Structure 1
């Protein structure tokens, strides 16, 4: 048995209830544990996240250098435009949505508490013809 098991990504925020609801909806997930100061969720694909109350939490200022990117999340999607509409509908906002060329296209966003995350287009795996 492994000494250290895989953990949970935990985001500090002033309002964990609101942030957990954002990611629960985005990941088609469910709450797994709740306490006064923390909420854990599991996405439909098994992604586990926690949201811990910190009344003094300040979001990173990325892409500005003064309080630069501390950490961010990457999510794989097949349709960037559809995912963007969903994120904005849930209260997120675009940060950097320039389309990158090539099979690894990505766009940057912030959740309602200001944490940055990236959507990465999953290359289609269609069979080769010919």
Structure 2
């Protein structure tokens, strides 16, 4: 029998309360502390997603994305194509820093748009929208 488990992506930063408020506002989520781990804040979204934020005063923000380097682990936030511009405005108003915008028309019949940002602590995240062609 397998022991029930769940997973959570944890972002380290110097100011976890500030970063937790950023993601809670961006995702329409609530912030709470993890039972048994006073150092871990949990951002729980209405869709059931959970993001952890942990204090690390010595953390250095990554330099991703570099054109010559591979993608690093990052948070991908999915939105409808029609909501992408509005989601970008919300993210920037909350303190996100735009990094790049990309359009990928390489797959016939579909269009993928994504916009890369750094959160206030420097973690990379992507707002991504996919339009599926109608049948």
- If the TM-score is normalised by the length of the shorter chain, which range does it land in? 0.7 to 0.9
TM-score (norm 2): 0.81
Q: Which residue of 1 aligns with 2:49?
A: 47
For residues 62-113 of structure 1, what are the alpha-carbon distances to aligned partners after superposition, in whole Å with 9 as ceiling and x for unaligned? Answer: 1237997541011111121111000000000111113333422111111000
Question: Structure 1 residue 91 and structure 2 residue 95: aligned?
Answer: yes
SS of match in other structure, 1:10: strand
8 Å contact from structure 1 (residues 22, 90) kept in 2: yes
Name 1:82's counterpart in structure 2. Answer: 86
What residue number does 1:31 align with? 31
**Deviation (angstroms), 1:120:** 1.2
Structure 1 residues 91 and 5, CA gap change in structure 2 (3 angstroms): same
1:123 deviates by 2.2
Higher strand proportion: 2
TM-score by length of 1: 0.84
Q: 1:116 aligns with which of 124, 127, 132?
A: 124
**Distance in 1 (alpha carbons) for counterparts of 2:128 and 2:32:** 26
> Aligned pairs, how many?
127
Q: Distance in 2 between matches of 1:26 and 1:73?
A: 12
SS at match of 1:56: coil
